[in-house]
Chains A and B, each alone.
Chain A
Amino acid sequence: MTRQIKVTPQEFAEMNKKIRPKPKLLRNCFMAFVVGGAICLLAQVLINVYQYLGIGLKEAVTLGTVSMILLGSLLTGLGLYDGIVALGGAGGILPVTGFANAMVSPAMDYKKEGYVLGVGAKMFSVAGPVIISGTITAFLLGVLSLLFR
C-alpha cells in the first residue's frame, strides 16, 4: 500500500530548498585558486626553463602554452585529468590544459562512432563554440579598429 503524503508543490519546493546542500562557494573558489594557480605556475616554470635554454621570450611563452596543451591531452588520455577537475573545478577547466581536456575527453568517449563522426566531430563539442566565439569577436574588433582609427 502506498502512503499518501499531503504536500503542495510549493511546500515541496521549500522542503527541497532546505534539504539540498548549498554549493560550497568559498571552498570551491579556494580550490580553483590553488589548482588553477598551480597549473599556471607549472607553465611558468617551463617558460623559464625554455628561456634558460636560449629560446626567446615570445617563443618560450608560445612553447609553454603548446607544452601545456600536450600535457592536458596526455593526462586526459591516461584518465587522470578528471581528477584535477573534480579537485579544482574551474581551476582545472579555465587553463589551456582544460581546453585540451574538453577536446580529448568527448573524442575518446565517442571513438566507437568512428574516426570521422566520432573522434573528429566530438572533439569540437566544446572547442568548436570556443573557437567560433573567439574568431567572431576578434573579427568584429578588427573591423571596429578599421573604422575608428
Chain B
Amino acid sequence: MPASIWLNLIPAFLIGGLLCVGAQLLMDLTKPQFTPAHVLIVFVVAGAIAGALGWYEPLAKFAGAGATVPLTGFGYIMGKGAVEGAQSGIMGVLAGGIGAGAIGITAAILFSYICAVSFKPKG
C-alpha cells in the first residue's frame, strides 16, 4: 500500500476531534447539562443545514471520516438528500432525507437489534 494514502488520517483525526470538542463544550457549558440525546440532535440538525447549504461537502472532502463519522455527517447526508430530491418535486423531498440516510439507519437498527438480543448486560 503506498504511504501517501495514509496522509488523509491527519485531517480525519483533527476535524473529528474538533467536532467532538464542540460537543463536549455543549455538554459542559449548558445548564442544565445537555444529555447525549440533546447533543446528537444539535449536531444532526447543524449537519443537515450545513449539508443543504453546500458547506459540509468541502469539509467531508478535506477530512473524510473526520466529517462523516461524527453525527453531523448523518445530518449532512439527510439534508443533502432532501435538497437533491427537491429537483424531482415534493415527492423527492419526502423521500430524499431518509432515503439518503437509509444505509446508516438500516445498519444501525440491524446491528443494534442483533447485539441487544444476543448479549447480556453487565452489572
A55 cross-chain contacts in B, Cβ below 8 A: none
Q: Is the CB of A141 within 8 A of B79?
A: yes
Q: Nearest Cβ in chain A — how far from B89, in angstroms? A: 7
The answer to whether A93 and B116 touch (CB under 8 A), given A68-B69, A69-B111, is no
Binding site for A on B (CB under 8 A): 1, 5-6, 8-9, 12-21, 23-29, 36-37, 39-41, 43-45, 48-49, 52, 63-66, 68-71, 73-75, 78-79, 81-83, 85-86, 89-90, 92-94, 96-98, 100-101, 103-105, 107-109, 111-123
Q: Is the CB of A102 within 8 A of B5?
A: no
Chain A contact residues, majority secondary structure: helix
Q: Is the CB of B64 within 8 A of A44?
A: yes
Q: Nearest Cβ in chain A — how far from B106, in angstroms? A: 9
The docked-state distance in angstroms from the alpha carbon of A35 to that of B121 is: 24
The docked-state distance in angstroms from the alpha carbon of A70 to that of B69 is: 13
Query: Other than the known A91-B24, A137-B48, what 15 A-B pairs have Cβ atoms closer than 8 Å?
Result: A40-B65, A48-B6, A66-B103, A69-B111, A90-B24, A90-B39, A94-B23, A96-B71, A99-B40, A134-B78, A137-B75, A138-B48, A138-B96, A139-B93, A149-B86
Q: Nearest Cβ in chain A — how far from B19, in angstroms? A: 6
The answer to whether A40 and B13 touch (CB under 8 A), given A65-B69, A68-B69, is yes
Q: Is the CB of B65 within 8 A of A44?
A: yes
| Tally of contact residues, A, Cβ under 8 A | 78
Q: Is the CB of B17 within 8 A of A108?
A: no
The docked-state distance in angstroms from the alpha carbon of A125 to that of B116 is: 14
Contact residue among B28, B71, B79 (Cβ-Cβ distance under 8 Å from A23): B28
A68 cross-chain contacts in B, Cβ below 8 A: 69
The docked-state distance in angstroms from the alpha carbon of A93 to that of B25 is: 13
Q: Is the CB of A104 within 8 A of B66?
A: no
Q: Is the CB of A100 within 8 A of B49?
A: no
Q: Is the CB of A142 within 8 A of B13?
A: no
